[in-house]
Amino acid sequence: MTEFVWRWRVTLMASIVGVVAAIMRFSSLGYPQALVFDEVFYARGAYSLMTLGYEGDWGGDNQDFANGDVSQLSTDADYVVHPNVGKLMISWGMEMFGPSAYGWRFMSAVVGVLTVLMIAFIARHLLRSTLWGAVAGLFLAVEGEHIVLSRTALLDIFLTFFVVAAMGLLVVDHHVTRRTLVRQSVAERERLGLGEGSLIPGRGPSLGIRWWRLAAIATFGLSISVKWNGLYFAAAFLVLSVIWDWYERRMLGWENWFGAGLVRAIPAFLATIVIMPLVYLASWIPWFRSDNSWGRHWAEDNPGEGLTWLPDSLNSLVHYHSQMWEFHRGLDSPHNYESNPWGWPLQIRPTAFYFEDVTDVDCGAERCVSAIHSIGHPLIWWVGAAVLLYALWRIVRHRDMLALTVTTGYLAAWLPWLPFAHRTIFTFYTVTMAPFLVLMVVWAMKRLAQPDRLRGAWWKPGVVICLVYVAAVLIVAGFFTPLWTGEPVPFRYWQLHMWLPSWV
């Protein structure tokens, strides 16, 4: 009976969260029938990869492609500055539905829904509660940054998907590892006749090949194959997995817990420096297979230059990457919607993806507009900024491992950008922060509604506060949905959403 109830709750959680996420992401997905913001690069690049096998140069007007005219694609190579995996995934949607707005956005919506479901299950495991897992999934399902990027053919949603998937694999690895450590710790205590509170001599058991962690490493390789900043997440979470090992061995009473965790980290490090580069290199197979891709024969055309000890194809790829690096390092052209990363936690300067006057739809007003703004859900982001400070205090003051776990992804998505505040960067990059923001907020909600002092029991004032907050989140999500989906609205209604002067 208990198992039936457990399965029923989990199924209900996944169903509700998945349906809400799908509605928010697939409803009117093909609108507007236009290249929104940087779709001009990635949707067209994806179509080129699908048809030519490499990214060719485009001529003509952007709207020609949006209208289904792909005749402007030339066989001349285009210089692009991001790896292929995200664009290849965008192309899968066009393989199924053609070069239409729905087609090039389809896979973004799919991975967006999958990311919501993964966060629900990750939160459920970390917080040991199906209810709180449902709240986390629901919050990400209605979070603005994640909705907008799930409805747009940009790369960042695919980066987010792989990072969350890799974290989920590490969480599974931690769960499996901990069960083994607990079992072997009990057996060793019994063998040595030790009391429950006494230290166990030695480093503890060797855990063999940790397949879940290897899968996470490969998945981090895929995230880097979408955008290079997947490296930040790989470094942060793989270090976190070592900290988990130290923590578990120490809590279970192994005397040499630090040395044990360090020794076990060496194979993981060696696997990382082998698997991740191989996965990344494999993502460039389309580039290797095509004679016409950008810079493919640079080494042959420039004998004696570059890393001559490498095969010509790899030497050419290394040179291409040096060009990409220089592009990113020097990207400081002024842009209307560039933002300072110090303001990201409060969504100070969100990105306007699309804004057009609409004349063929009656919205009940004299002026109708269709606008898409990647504004993060204000109530989630603003509360999350306060929760971050609380979580950091918990980490420093109480060495709270769960607080460290729920903040790692948020900090890995944010802190590396702070030294580059002078560059042309955008708030929509925070879509990678959104899943971990939700984990932080729901972690804090649980601590409020079920404080430690009550040992899992509910504190009624905290429950009321959480219920009011959930209701407010859903109401505000409904209010902002037209600005996340581009639904035509009266211009005055659009103005009501500009809560900060910097949002205009």
Q: Each residue of 192-209: pLDDT tens digit?
A: 878 777 788 877 777 888
**How much is the pLDDT for 6?**
63
Say if 21 falls within a structural domain. Answer: yes
Give the three-class secondary structure for 355. strand
**Residue 354 belongs to a domain:** yes
Q: Which comes out higher in pLDDT, residue 45 or 336?
A: 45
Arithmetic mean of pLDDT, 374-392: 97
* 15 plus 143 within the same structural domain: yes
Determine the average pLDDT of the residues in 294-322. Answer: 92
* The pLDDT of residue 456: 85
> What pLDDT is recorded for position 5?
59
Query: Which residues lie closer than 8 Å to 131 by C-beta, 6 or more apart?
Result: none
316 and 373, same structural domain? Answer: no
> Can you give the pLDDT at residue 160?
98
Give yes or no for residue 215 having a pLDDT over 80. Answer: yes
The position carrying tokens 């592009």 is: 327
Span 149-163, average pLDDT: 98
Clarify whether residues 292 and 435 are in a common domain. Answer: no
73 forms bridges with which residues in the sheet? 58
Domain-located, residue 172:
no
Residue 202's pLDDT is what? Answer: 79
Q: Are residues 294 and 401 in the same domain?
A: no
Task: Please list the alpha-helical segments (H only) found in 142-289.
Answer: 144-150, 156-192, 211-224, 230-251, 257-282, 285-289
Residue 239 pLDDT = 96
Dist. CA 92–CA 168, nearest whole Å: 24
Residues 437 and 490 in one domain: yes
Quote the pLDDT of residue 1: 47
pLDDT of 384 reads: 98
Q: Residue 293 and residue 316: Cα distance in Å, rounded?
A: 11
Q: Is the pLDDT of residue 359 over 90?
A: no
Domain-terminating residue out of 261, 296, 329: 329
CB contact at 8 A, 104 and 43: yes
- Residues 403-436: tens digit of each pLDDT: 999 999 999 999 999 998 878 889 999 999 999 9
- CB atoms < 10 A from the CB of 253, how many? 18
Examine the domain organization and report whether 349 and 324 are in the same domain.
Answer: no
Which of 308, 329, 350 corresponds to the end of one domain?
329
Does 4 score more than 70 pLDDT? no
Q: Please, are residues 194 and 148 in contact by the beta-carbon 8 Å criterion?
A: no
* pLDDT for residue 61: 78
pLDDT tens-digit series, residues 56-85:
998 877 888 888 889 899 989 899 989 999
d(CA 479, CA 228): 35
Q: Is residue 80 part of a domain?
A: yes
Do 338 and 424 touch, CB atoms closer than 8 A? yes
| Predicted local confidence at residue 121, as pLDDT | 97
Are residues 300 and 381 both part of a single domain? no
CA distance 16 to 22: 10
Pair 304, 360 in one domain: no
Give the total number of structural domains in the chain.
2
Within a domain: 425: yes
Same domain, 412 and 294: no
23 and 119: one domain? yes
> Do 26 and 148 belong to one domain?
yes
Average pLDDT over residues 470-480: 98
pLDDT at residue 423, rounded to an integer: 81
**Residue-range definition of the domain harbouring residue 11:** 2-154+333-503
Position 121 in a domain: yes
From 270, 300, 329, give the residue that closes a domain. Answer: 329
CB 199 within 8 A of CB 255: yes
* 3-class DSSP assignment, residue 370: strand
Assigned domain for 181 exists? no
pLDDT at 2: 53
What are 78-113's pLDDT values in tens digits?
A: 999 899 999 999 999 999 999 999 999 999 999 999
How many angstroms separate the CA atoms of 52 and 263, rounded? 48
Output the pLDDT for position 190.
82
What is the arithmetic mean of pLDDT over 19-44?
94
Tell me the HSE value of 82 on the side-chain side, using a 13 A CA sphere. Answer: 23
**Helix or strand holding residue 477 (H, E):** helix 460-485
106 phi and psi angles, rounded to 5 deg: -60, -50
Classify residue 167: in a domain, yes or no: no
Residue 216's pLDDT is 98
Q: Comparing C-alpha atoms, which of 114, 112, 111, 90 is closest to residue 102?
A: 90
38 and 148 together in one domain:
yes
Average of pLDDT values for 471-498? 96
